[in-house]
Amino acid sequence: MPRFLTIWLPRWPVQRRLLAKPELRKVPVFVCRRERRGAMTVVSWAWAEPPPDERRKRMVSGRSGRVAIASGMSLAEAMAVLAVAHGSRACHVAEVEPDDPVADREALERLARWCRRFSPTVGIEEVADGAPECLHLDITGTAGFFGGEESLARTAVWTLAARGVHARAAIADTPAAAWAAAHHTDTVARLLHQSAPLVVRRAVEGSSSPGVRLASRRHRRWAVVPRGEAARLAELPIAALRIDEATAAAVAEVGIDTIGGVLALPARSLASRFPPLLCRRLAEFRGTVAEPVVPPGGEALPQESQAFDFPVRTVDLDEQQLLGLIEGLLGRCLAPLVARGEGVLALQVRLEHGARMAVAPTVIDVGLFRPTASRQHLVELVRLRLARQRLPVEIDGVAVEVIAAGSVACRQRLLFGGGVGGLETSDADAEVAMLLDRLAGRLGRGAVCEPQAVGDAQPEYAWIAAPPNGRPPPARPRQPAARDGGRAPRDRVSRSGARGYAVPRPVPASRRPIWMPPRPVPLDGPEGEVMAVAPDGPPARFRLGDVLHRIVQAYGPERIETAWWRGPTVRRDYYVVETDSGERFWLFRRLRDGSWFLHGMFA
């Protein structure tokens, strides 16, 4: 019996933008479509890191605890709902992005190619209108490589989470059933838990082990419907059958609101009383009508593989031999790309060893910050990853697949050279790009960044570690337009505020330390002590560890009062202090309780 895995990527248009611009996670993001008369309609929206103010959110949306903004709502209406939930200032910091379904689709296709590590057949769901948000994987016979279906679903969810993609997954007999289960993993987990043997239920419910509780909580993000038991999904709402609103309303008129209710009706009455879409969806749900998983169209990216006649032990395989084999496959992949003027942006090397040992292939992902067609550079990146990879005992074959490609910038060389020290500027940029790829290949993509300033008054959030993707630096924080001819809104005391709302004045570099601990170091405990002459005055001396510093100069205070949207308001008085030895430190007093902290060193 075939088995299918459906991966649901909730609010994919917003997720795609958050992946490209991580700084948007702190603000509400609306993806809107402009209608004929200029009105903006919300396609999708999300606030990845909202303020922890659940009480007000629940006041708006009732039990769900979520702000009730639905797709298709006008932007003005959505802003009103957001303002009620989080205050009017949340609307000022919100980002409105134009809808781009083509780019959403392309990004989803790239992700589908990336998901070929789980199954060779990966398709994107077909939707009549709107943007697709699901991937269907035919996992018939492949789940055993990952330790079972449960393990496969868990691996898929957490591997995507490691890439910054929020996903839910479900496995069932048909794509329709898997789609329904993926959209209601919480309910499915509860249904399956109720039908589990009593001993198992008691073991989970009565366990005091945090590991067991954690596992049961994590279970909500994936679900596995046992073979031949799609009827367990009978309690799911009728919308889980992927029917449109009109059909759902027609079914609701006769008092049926679950899949089980529709399944109980005779097939003849269904065909005569409801639109044909419902019958087709039910047939797909039952599996009487096949729903093929079609890989994404478009020009296929190259993929090459070589299988060995017999398994090769890795201890007998020299690194150079393996790299030579990969280089050969890579050359064959690059040939069609170079003919199109493209280069590799993401690469996947798979060491196949699952034929006899029933384990998943060892996957080596190589990501680049800009496309390249240099075979040597790509082999070097693969070598860096191989050095840190635990290789399998035996290898049955090697596969190289281009996951993403992009246009390579071509430029005519100067006849007499030029640039820095005989190195042309674009060559220097290319050298830096290759360096970034190498650093990211060994240290990880998160360990290499290009700092970008953001308009946040709180020093901890004054910059973001943007991935160095070679694009031009982002525009500076925009000045909010004055509404109704009035003044632009400002923050309460300081010229600080959230991004895009009350733009702070540029802080002089002399006021910020070059060394800042991730968290302020308290100076009221064993690690330090501060003495000030006046209760609200500057510090006179402080002790850091065993060293007592006498302050001869103090500049300040610089009051920072901001970040109400992130939780408790941050209220601090900062001082740049200079000690008798000439060293400079950055201290602040927390206005809430008067305690002192060390927040930086002018190293």
- What does the per-residue mask of binding to other proteins show for 403-432, with x meaning CB under 8 A? ---------------xxxx-x-x-xxxxxx
- Which amino acid, residue 335? A
Residues 244, 277 contacting (CB under 8 angstroms): yes
Taking the least distance from each CB to other proteins, the nearer of 158 and 555 is 555
d(CA 345, CA 369): 7
Which residue number, 141 or 537, has a Cβ lying nearer to other proteins?
A: 537
Closer residue to other proteins, CB minimum distance, 303 or 389: 389
Which residues, at least 6 apart from 519, have a Cβ–Cβ distance to it below 8 Å? Answer: none
Among 60, 277, 355, 540, binds other proteins (CB under 8 A): 540
Q: Which helix (H) or strand (E) holds 46?
A: strand 40-46
Q: Which is nearer to other proteins, 230 or 433 (CB)?
A: 433
Q: How far is the CB of 429 from other proteins (least distance, A)?
A: 6
- Please identify, among the stretches 27-35, 181-189, 402-410, 533-541, the one whose residues bind other proteins according to the rule CB under 8 A: 533-541
**451 counts as binding other proteins under rule CB under 8 A:** yes
Which of 71, 79, 63 minimizes the C-alpha distance to 28?
A: 79
Of 14-22, 218-226, 329-337, 459-467, the segment contacting other proteins by CB under 8 A is 459-467
List the one residue out of 344, 327, 391, 333 whose CA is nearest residue 363.
Answer: 391
Q: Distance between CA 37 and CA 225 in Å, rounded?
A: 46
Is residue 220 close enough to count as binding other proteins by CB under 8 A?
no
Contact status: 465 vs other proteins (CB under 8 A): yes
Count of chain residues binding other proteins (CB under 8 A): 70
Q: Per rule CB under 8 A, is residue 455 in the interface with other proteins?
A: no
Q: How far apart are CA 502 and CA 124, in angstroms?
A: 42
Q: What gap in Å lies between CA 590 and CA 415, rounded to an integer?
A: 63
Instruction: Name the DSSP letter for residue 533.
Output: S
Tell the smallest beta-carbon distance from residue 488 to other proteins (Å): 24
**Amino acid (1-letter code) at residue 352:** E
Do 233 and 170 meet the contact criterion of CB atoms below 8 Å apart? no
Q: State which residue, 324 or 517, has the beta carbon closest to other proteins.
A: 517
How far is the C-alpha of 309 from the C-alpha of 319, rounded, in Å?
19
Q: How many CB atoms lie within 10 A of CB 524?
A: 14
SS3 state at 559: strand
φ/ψ (deg, to 5) at 466: -85, 140
- Contact pick of 36, 415, 582, 593 for other proteins (by CB under 8 A): 582
600 near other proteins, judged by CB under 8 A: yes
438 binds other proteins (CB under 8 A): yes
**Under the criterion CB under 8 A, does residue 207 sit at the interface with other proteins?**
no
- From 34-42, 106-114, 389-397, 578-586, give the range in contact with other proteins by CB under 8 A: 578-586
- In the shown chain, the binding pattern of residues 41 to 70 toward other proteins, with x for contact by CB under 8 A and - for none, equals ------------------------------
538 binds other proteins (CB under 8 A): yes
- The distance of closest approach from Cβ of residue 586 to other proteins in the complex, given in angstroms and rounded to an integer, is 9
Measured from the CB atom, the residue of 144 and 513 that comes closer to other proteins is 513
Rounded Cα distance, 3 and 225, in Å: 10
Is the backbone of residue 275 left (phi > 0), alpha (psi -120 to 50) or beta? beta
235 makes contact with other proteins (CB under 8 A): no
Contacts of 358 (CB under 8 A, 6+ apart): 144, 145
Among 200, 246, 435, 548, binds other proteins (CB under 8 A): 435
568 interacts with other proteins by CB under 8 A: no
Closest CA to 596 of 515, 551, 542: 542
In degrees, rounded to 5, the angle at the alpha carbon of residue 113 between the alpha carbons of residues 111 and 117 is 100
> Which of 72, 25, 66 lies closest to 47 in space, CA to CA?
25
> Binder to other proteins among 400, 436, 523, 530 (CB under 8 A)?
436
The residue within the footprint of other proteins, chosen from 25, 235, 463, 522 (CB under 8 A), is: 463
For 420, the token pair is 């820095």
Does position 525 interact with other proteins (CB under 8 A)? The reply is no
Q: Which of residues 113-132 bind other proteins (CB under 8 A)?
A: none
Task: Quickly tell me which residue has 């290898």 as its tokens.
Answer: 395
Taking the least distance from each CB to other proteins, the nearer of 266 and 582 is 582
Binding other proteins (rule: CB under 8 A), the pick from 105, 220, 375, 512 is 512
Q: Which residue type sits at 239? A: A
Distance, CA of 357 to CA of 362 (rounded, Å): 13
Our finding on whether 578 is near other proteins (CB under 8 A) is: yes
CA 329 to chain centre: 31
Q: Phi, psi (5° rounding) for residue 348?
A: -130, 125
| By the rule CB under 8 A, 479 interacts with other proteins | no
Residues 437, 443, 444, 446, CA torsion sign: negative
Contact with other proteins (CB under 8 A) among 212, 289, 312, 439: 439
Q: Does 376 bind other proteins (CB under 8 A)?
A: no
Q: Does 515 bind other proteins (CB under 8 A)?
A: yes
Residue 22 binds other proteins (CB under 8 A): no
Contact between 602 and other proteins (CB under 8 A)? yes
Q: How far is the CB of 452 from other proteins (least distance, A)?
A: 6
Identify the helix (H) or strand (E) that includes residue 97.
strand 95-98
The minimum distance between CB 229 and other proteins, in angstroms, equals 46
d(CA 493, CA 563): 12
Tell me: does residue 581 bind other proteins (CB under 8 A).
yes
Contact between 197 and other proteins (CB under 8 A)? no
Site for other proteins contains 159 (CB under 8 A):
no
Phi and psi angles of residue 136, each rounded to the nearest 5 degrees, phi first: -105, 130
Q: Which residues bind other proteins (CB under 8 A)?
A: 418-421, 423, 425, 427-432, 434-436, 438-439, 442-443, 447-453, 459, 462-463, 465, 468, 472-473, 506-518, 537-538, 540, 551-558, 576, 578-585, 600-603
